[in-house]
Structure 1
């Protein structure tokens, strides 16, 4: 039987929330409570870059320009940080918009959600912002990802739907068949888009046609939150209420890996530079999850050892 290796890396007591792999082969993460952007190269000590303490940095992703881009949920801004720590911030045109999800698009720009404004935003790498109004009010657009069809796909948490926006701003809404409360979303290995439903406790799959399939997680009250594609062909997701991380294989098998011994409350998740899965824990740490003997396993040192939840 494969053995799961789970390591904990304390970083800072600031509410680790979003996480991604940067172009410098380091982990970059947001500290939503302390207003910081953190960086950790596996095997080295973490470092942090201070923003305004109450700006609420949330989701962070690599941009097409070699920098990292992130949302500031409380300050209503989009931020950019270079790998040497230089920060630039851009206000959204709509006041109090609550930007949350962000992802690089196929057009060389960054696309982001505005939870409080029912809009999807687009920002070029030189800071020019365009907004597109959604056809639903109170939809609470949350996470966003580039799909396999040269469009952006996003979750509509309160509208219980998955949205698609093309590069010209045309929006299609796909209502979900169950009361799901979708949050995290990511492109899969199979040409579909995958999402997690925090309210109903399932992993969902949606095709370009809008056809959906739902796969319940073992603990329906675990509140799955974020999802990413792993190097092993599986989709990996966090379950913050269940203090666990799950993997969903192409054979429709869900394995759950308990993180409660780490203090946990996992949120963001990403494929790391070492091909393992890395998770941001709100308790001020990162977790590394790898299956022994699998492609993703890399030997590393073992370290022993509440924030706003905009989309719960």
Structure 2
């Protein structure tokens, strides 16, 4: 009987060891043993920041979207108080216009039409709607257009200045709507993918195309306003919760990956996606870039909701500059604006401010980029070089780090991308070269990926990129890495179930006073299986921002992965407990020496 107990404990130990190790090595990439290799570069706000902030003089209005109007006037929604705010840049004064909604309005986003009227969405659960405000009338006038749709959450709104028709997204109702400017009639168009979560819209100039991000389905769709047909574009690489969208003069579509940490470019002619990663996320899982604004130079501006930075991507050079927002917190800004001079404006929801960065803000560091992709196989090592130049009249100390699109959220380990050095000093008019050693994981699927080098002086970061055309390789090991956790869980479940059935059979034939309790080892195995199954069933965290509905059934704030960390610690704890029980059993069953 003692031998049987030892075998049972040994089997329990083997099962839990495999479950623990498979969960740690193949599970979610944010636990105890999956930290990034090199330390993250900290970028701190500074009094010398190019960003100017304008504090709102009343408490907690919840500024969450902004548009630029003529004569240095800016309109913004006040999500918390149900009002439309006005900021006069010349006079530096704020004012408010209450929205006449029974039960209180919840304005999310807004747009300006050719007549100077302000259109905005209202997420009041009893009366979800789109409003138009004529602030130049005396007194001001409102008109409300109810969506008249169940489960309705209107989010973004735009105006087609060629027709004066108004378009909006109803994210949870899965449609886009058009308000006829003459009749006021709303026509709705349901997206082809159910629960796709239509988010922001962008008009393609010179065409009848309206582009829409599908934040729940992780796709981009093109709607033909003439034929009313949709065409969806499914990315070949990860694209998590796309929200912001803009179309450049070449017809290429640019999307912010709000559930991750990159800006993605879609080339519709060949359905190709490629991504430009931000600095690696640190406090949160993602940097969550939000809506995009394209300036006259063709550069894209955006706010990183969880990175608390303003980003600017120049597709001509492939360089992304990131400017730390002076006020700490989460810089929720559901819609941003460019003024006539090209300056970028945004809201700071938690900071209760408006922010502005001039169009000609510069970074003290200028990295190079390689826009022509390098071709390689997954698991292969290649090297590349990026040069760094100083742009100021004084020396600058530069700290370096890496970023990539190898993982869903942007975390990159030193085993995947390593640098020849991680700090250097750039003198005026001096350039230095840094070598990157790039080794994508052998299990990486085929696709177009991006590796970036992040250079920062502690205030501003600049990211230079290298594109990689990676060919995935099939192997039994990769197959096991994909399915081993499920196989182990299933095998352990079968073993435990078989053990229980055998014991129940023995219990029926055993004397009534016999002990039929479930052994401790079996209980531990059952508990481990339940924990692993529960964690596998938990969806990954998604970015949840004010005014933007989470994916169904409920989104989770993107933050530190306590689940993954807890799973790793729990797995190690089970491993230690079972080892302790085996050693304890051996000592207990060891024959005592004769006295």
| Band the TM-score falls in, shorter-chain normalisation | 0.7 to 0.9
* 1:111-260 superposed matches below 5 A: 111-126=167-182, 127-148=184-205, 149-168=207-226, 169-177=228-236, 178-209=238-269, 210-220=271-281, 221-249=286-314, 250-260=316-326
- Partner residue of 2:354? 286
Larger radius of gyration: 2
Contact 1:161-1:182 within 8 A present in 2 as well: yes
Give the 3 Å change call, closer, same or farther, for CA 73–137 of structure 1 in structure 2: same
**Following the alignment from structure 1 to structure 2, what is the Cα–Cα distance between the partners of residues 292 and 113?**
33
Match of 1:97 among 113, 136, 152: 152
- The structure-2 alpha-carbon separation of the partners of 1:224 and 1:307, relative to structure 1 and needing over 3 Å to count, comes to closer
**1: CA distance between counterparts of 2:330 and 2:259?**
20
Change (3 A) 1:173 1:307: closer
Q: Deviations over 1:248-272 (max 9, x none)?
A: 0121111001014365513131102
Q: What secondary structure does 1:19 align onto?
A: strand
CA spacing shift, 1:244–1:54, aligned 2, 3 Å: farther
**Which structure 2 segments of 5+ residues have no match?**
1-47, 363-543, 551-595
- Alignment correspondent of 2:332: 266
* Aligned CA distance change for structure 1 residues 133 and 247 (closer, same or farther; 3 Å): same
User: What is the CA distance between 1:218 and its match in structure 2?
Assistant: 1.4
> What are the within-5 Å matches in structure 2 for residues 36-55 of structure 1?
36-44=83-91, 45-51=93-99, 52=101, 54-55=104-105
When structure 1 is superposed on structure 2, of 253-262 and 155-164 the one drifting more is 253-262
Relative to structure 2, which stretch is displaced further, 187-196 or 73-82?
187-196
Rounded Cα–Cα distance in structure 2 between residues aligned with 1:103 and 1:141:
14
Cα shift readout 1:18-53 (whole Å, capped 9, x = no counterpart): 111125542111111111111112122011111137
Q: CA RMSD in A?
A: 2.3
Change in 2 beyond 3 A, CA 1:307/1:182: closer
Q: What's 1:6 paired with?
A: 51
> Of Structure 1 and Structure 2, which has the larger fraction of its residues in strand?
1
TM-score computed with the length of structure 2 as normaliser: 0.47
Q: 1:73·1:99 contact (CA, 8 Å) conserved in 2?
A: yes
Q: Go from structure 1 to structure 2 and tell me whether the alpha carbon gap of 1:189 and 1:31 turns closer, same or farther (over 3 Å shift).
A: farther
* Distance change in 2, residues 1:208/1:68 (3 Å): farther
Identify the range of structure 1 (28-37 vs 81-90) with the bigger mean alpha-carbon deviation.
81-90
User: Partner of 2:327: helix, strand, or coil?
Assistant: helix
Q: Larger % of helix: which?
A: 2
> Hey, which bits of structure 1, 4+ residues long, moved more than 4 A?
291-294
Alpha carbons 1:6, 1:290 under 8 Å: kept: yes
1:147 Cα shift? Answer: 1.7
Unpaired segments ≥5 residues, structure 1? 295-305
Could you say which residue in structure 2 is the equivalent of 1:297?
none
Q: Which moved more, 1:246-255 or 1:39-48?
A: 39-48
Which residue among 58, 62, 71 is the counterpart of 2:112? 62
Number of paired residues? 299
Whether the 8 Å contact between 1:140 and 1:158 is mirrored in structure 2 is: yes
CA contact (8 A) 1:102 1:110 kept: yes
**How many angstroms does 1:55 deviate by?**
2.1
Superposed displacement of residue 242, structure 1? 0.8
Following superposition of structure 1 onto structure 2, how do residues 83-94 of structure 1 map, counting pairs within 5 Å? 83-84=135-136, 85-94=140-149
- Secondary structure at 1:5 match in 2: coil
- How far is the alpha carbon of 1:133 from its aligned partner? 1.1
Q: CA deviation at 1:65?
A: 3.6
Q: CA deviation at 1:80?
A: 0.6
Task: Please state whether the residue corresponding to 2:336 is helix, strand or coil.
Answer: strand
**Corresponding residue number in structure 1 for 2:342:** 275
CA distance in 2, matches of 1:132, 1:292: 41
- Is structure 2 residue 128 aligned with structure 1 residue 76? yes
**1:163 positional shift:** 1.2
